[in-house]
Structure 1
Amino acid sequence: MEAFLVSTGIVALAEIGDKTQLLSFVLAARFRKPWPIIAGILVATLANHAFAAAVGTWITGLLGPEVLRWVLGLSFIAMAAWIMVPDKLDEDEVQPLRFGVFGATLVAFFLAEMGDKTQIATVALAAQYEAFVAVVAGTTLGMMIANAPAVLVGDRLAHRMPVRLVHGIAACIFVVLGALVLMDIGA
Structure 2
Amino acid sequence: MAEFIKALFLVVVAEMGDKTQLLAMAMASKYKVKQVMIGVLVATVFNHALAVAVGSYIGSLIPMGIIKMVAAISFLIFGLWTLRGDKIDEDDEKKRKFGPIVTVAIAFFLAEMGDKTQLMTIAIAADNSNPLVILMGTTTGMLIADGIGIIGGAWMCRHIPEIYIKWVAGVIFMFFGTLTLYNIAPAWMISPLYIILYFLVLGVFIYIFGVKLAYHGQACDIVLANENSEGEVG
Same fold (TM over 0.5): yes
Q: Aligned Cα RMSD in Å?
A: 2.0
Instruction: Report the CA distance shift for 1:27/1:4 in structure 2 as closer, same or farther (over 3 A).
Output: same
Report the Cα distance in structure 1 between the residues aligned to 2:112 and 2:139, rounded to whole angstroms.
Answer: 12
Report the Cα distance in structure 1 between the residues aligned to 2:171 and 2:44, rounded to whole angstroms.
Answer: 24
| Corresponding residue for residue 19 of structure 2 | 19
Deviates more, 1:140-149 or 1:158-167: 158-167
Report the Cα distance in structure 2 between the residues aligned to 1:170 and 1:150, rounded to whole angstroms.
Answer: 14
| Corresponding residue for residue 3 of structure 1 | 3
Q: Does 2:160 match 1:141?
A: no
> Where do 1:38-117 residues align within 5 Å?
38-117=37-116
Report the Cα distance in structure 1 between the residues aligned to 2:149 and 2:78, rounded to whole angstroms.
Answer: 23
| Corresponding residue for residue 36 of structure 2 | 37
Identity of aligned residues (%): 38
Report the Cα distance in structure 1 between the residues aligned to 2:170 and 2:37, rounded to whole angstroms.
Answer: 27
Q: Which structure carries more relative contact order (alpha carbon 8 Å, separation 6+)? A: 1
Bigger-Rg structure (1/2): 2
Question: TM-score, normalised to structure 2's length?
Answer: 0.71
Contact 1:21–1:147 under 8 Å retained in 2: yes
Deviates more, 1:160-169 or 1:78-87: 160-169
Q: Deviations over 1:19-67 (max 9, x none)?
A: 1111111111122x22111100011011111111111111111211222
Instruction: Report the CA distance shift for 1:42/1:94 in structure 2 as closer, same or farther (over 3 A).
Output: same
Deviates more, 1:170-179 or 1:44-53: 170-179
| Corresponding residue for residue 124 of structure 1 | 123
Q: CA deviation at 1:184?
A: 4.3
Q: Deviations over 1:82-117 (max 9, x none)?
A: 211111110111114322000100000001111111
**Segments ≥4 residues shifted beyond 6 Å:** none
Report the Cα distance in structure 2 between the residues aligned to 1:54 and 1:105, rounded to whole angstroms.
Answer: 23
Q: CA deviation at 1:157?
A: 4.0
Report the Cα distance in structure 2 between the residues aligned to 1:184 and 1:136, rounded to whole angstroms.
Answer: 26
Instruction: Report the CA distance shift for 1:136/1:35 in structure 2 as closer, same or farther (over 3 A).
Output: same
Question: TM-score, normalised to structure 1's length?
Answer: 0.88
